[in-house]
Amino acid sequence: MGLLENIQSPADLKKLPRQELPQLAVEIRRVIVDVVSQNGGHLASSLGAVELAIAIHYVFDTPEDKVIWDVGHQSYAHKLLTGRRQQFATLRQHGGLSGFTKRSESPFDPFTTGHSSTSISAALGMVCANRLQQKNNKVVAVIGDGSMTAGLAYEAMNQAGDLHKDLIVILNDNDMSIARNVGALSSLLSRTLSGQRLQTWRKDLGEFLKSVPKIGDNIYQWAKRSEESFKTFITPGMLFEAFNFDYFGPINGHNLAHLISILSNIKNLRDPVLLHVTTQKGKGYARAEENPVYFHGVGCFDVTTGASTAPSCPLPTFTQVFGETMVHLAEHDDRIVAVTAAMPEGTGLAAFAERFPERFFDVGIAEQHGVTFAAGMAAEGFRPVVAIYSTFLQRAYDQIIHDVCIENLPVVFAIDRGGLVGEDGPTHHGQFDLSFLRSLPNLVVMAPKDENELRRMLVTALRHDGPIAVRYPRGMAVGVPIDPNPAPIPIGKAEVLTEGDDMLIMAIGRMVPVAMAACEALKPLGIACTVVNGRFVKPLDSQCIVRLAERIPHILTLEDNALQGGFGSAVLELLNDHGVSPLNVQRLGLPDRFVEHGSPAILYAEYGLDVAGVVRAARQLMARVQPRPPVTVVARGN
């Protein structure tokens, strides 16, 4: 029987003698690799944090002591050690364990995570709350070097250093974000090794100088006085010490004995502490060590070869089409620059980065800065395309308004992962973008029905002299032929795809093919549909929509966005403003709740956004609503 099988909680872990812990790490890695090879998940980061999880639960008294895993994608070992071993095979599956930490899942998860760089703020909040409650527990934030590139982390450090609370931050430095980590901080952290060499060199030099009569001693005294600036110039400690943190490290984050002994000491300190540990992404599984970018977030794979076992994808993804189109368009327009916030692969910009390194900017996990940086470039005559996942763009809302839209600057927002993303769940679904963007003056908001339209929308965006967003989903495109010379689309023009007199289905983005399939399925039931591809959520094609709505008595709107304030709401407002009455409109979209994790197919079916769901809704609408009498149109607004 293995060691892991006997661990129901950290109390069982604490019973193990220290010398058995490395064997436990081996067993944990085996389980993680097995389950992720079946379910997909964040493998490399979790493999790198196995010893950290063991040492933390060995030393601290969780759940009274709180541990916050930043992003939470590295928390699989933590889950296995905190009573979730038996459910671990359900990781990221619908109804199963979350791929991140989640308060509702376990008392050992004090904070729900998924977006990066929240851990220090949350931990500081907990320390302050706990002290007000006269509790003496410890709070630990574990944050990666990539997540440490976000401003939010420094806002928290700034306050923590000022409050002087006994917060513990563990910086898990593997020199990687999803891609290779970027930025000045990253270079500072990787100077650690040379810093250590320098310490040795400095000691030797000091001894030598002291041995030189008179003059040598003077130089030694001067060098000693300058030692602090000299040392900190070269090591990362200075940065954290400037925030009033006691800095320890760097130590090897895979050496359990060292980790346990230093954590046991740190536990007793009363100051803010930063422990810098170095780890290897993918540790213990050779394939992931060799290719940590691929194994950061991976689908199903064969454990022996590391090769994907996911059904092969016959079509390109929207992301790939976006990436290829960017390269193509940038060949002909040197004003085009691309911005990513630490996701060159995920956003499809890796090829652009290779082809145009000077016109490619990875700002790190810094969405807010990325948007304002793009605004700066636009103000100087460039055409920045900011490619950010829908969910992460939420971070930059003020920058979109204040720095881009108010000034009407020509920034293109390429918003990937619009709609439900699947197994990453509620922290990652792109559920709100149409709603939060639709209310912004000057901003045009588009969503393509297929990959060819995505290309056309990019061309449209780059010709438009103002802010404009194109939003598209995760995963496979539709498989339509690609026009090598994509033509722009007139701003605000919808597309009527098919005509019928019983029902008007107005859809946006990925829901357009669903609307077309539902239209086909409704034909044999005697329901003839007009299907409109909205193309623009803002501005709407008011002429087309009002004209059709006046003629067709039943109206369905369809979107993979929150119903509140989304495409359907926009259509309703438009029809109301134009006095179309009565309004027999049924809006289909995501309800007013956070959508759980699971495969997109399951989730879309659950929310009635698959073909069967649309057919059901159409039949119910036909049954519920009598055809309206000839329409009275009272003009009210525009």
Ligand X SMILES: CC(=O)[C@@H](O)[C@H](O)COP(=O)(O)O
Ligand Y SMILES: Cc1ncc(C[n+]2csc(CCOP(=O)(O)OP(=O)(O)O)c2C)c(N)n1
Please give the annotated binding residues, written as ranges: 73, 114-116, 145-147, 174, 285, 367
Longest Cα–Cα distance in the chain = 108
Q: Is 65 an interacting residue with respect to ligand Y (CB under 6 A)?
A: no
Return the residue of 43, 71, 540, 555 that touches ligand Y, per CB under 6 A: 71
CA angle 117, 470, 294 (to 5 degrees): 50
Name the CA dihedral angle for 579, 581, 586, 591, rounded to a multiple of 10 degrees: 50
580: phi > 0 → left, psi -120 to 50 → alpha, else beta; which?
beta
**141 is a contact residue toward ligand Y (CB under 6 A):** no
From ligand X, ligand Y, Mg ion, none, which one binds at residue 421 (CB under 5 to 8 Å depending on kind)? ligand X
520 has catalytic annotation: no
Q: Does 144 bind Mg ion (CB under 5 A)?
A: yes
- Write the interaction track for Mg ion spanning residues 148-187; mark x where CB under 5 A is met and - where it is not: --------------------------x-x-----------
Do β-strands 495-498 and 529-533 pair in parallel, antiparallel, or remain unpaired?
Answer: antiparallel
Of the ranges 100-108, 143-151, 159-167, 303-311, which one interacts with Mg ion (CB under 5 A)? Answer: 143-151
Which of ligand Y, ligand X, Mg ion, none does residue 403 bind to, with CB < 5 to 8 Å depending on kind? none
Q: Which of 153, 161, 163, 56 is nearest to 110 (CA)?
A: 56
Could you write out the DSSP letters of every residue in 53-81? HHHHHHHS-TTTSEEEESSSTT-HHHHHH
Least separation in angstroms between CB 115 and ligand X = 7
Q: Please state the closest distance from residue 343 (CB atom) to ligand X, in A.
A: 7
Could you tell me the CA-to-CA distances from 253 to 118, 268, 484 in Å, in that order? 22, 20, 51
For residue 505, the minimal CB distance to Mg ion (Å) is 46
Site membership for ligand Y, residue 281 (CB under 6 A): yes
Binding site for ligand X (CB under 6 A): 42, 71, 73, 178, 296-297, 346, 417, 421, 424, 474
Query: Smallest distance from the beta carbon of 403 to ligand Y, in angstroms?
Result: 18
Of 226, 222, 146, the closest CA to residue 190 belongs to: 146
Residue 142, strand partner residues: 69, 170
Q: Indicate the annotated binding residues for thiamine diphosphate.
A: 73, 114-116, 146-147, 174, 285, 367
Residue 146 touches ligand Y, criterion: CB under 6 A: yes
Contact region for ligand Y (CB under 6 A) — 341-349, 475-483, 543-551, 560-568? 341-349
Q: Are strands 444-446 and 536-538 parallel, antiparallel or unpaired?
A: antiparallel
Question: Binds 283, which of ligand X, ligand Y, Mg ion, none (CB < 5 to 8 A, cut-off by type)?
Answer: none
Q: Is 15 a catalytic residue?
A: no
Q: What is the DSSP string of 408-477?
A: T---EEEEEEEB--STTGGGT-B-SHHHHHHT-TT-EEE--SSHHHHHHHHHHHHH-SS-EEEEEESSB-
Binding status of residue 283 toward ligand Y by CB under 6 A: no
Binding site residues for Mg(2+), as ranges?
Answer: 145, 174
The whole-angstrom separation of Cα 470 and Cα 162 is: 42
Q: Judged by CB under 6 A, which of 145, 450, 453, 560 binds ligand Y?
A: 145
* 47: its two tokens: 């493999």
Non-local CB neighbours of 501 within 8 Å, separated by 6+ positions: 528, 530, 551, 552
Chain residues binding ligand Y by CB under 6 A are: 45, 48, 71, 73-74, 115-116, 144-147, 174, 176-178, 281, 341-343, 365, 392, 395
Q: Which residues are catalytic?
A: 281, 367, 395
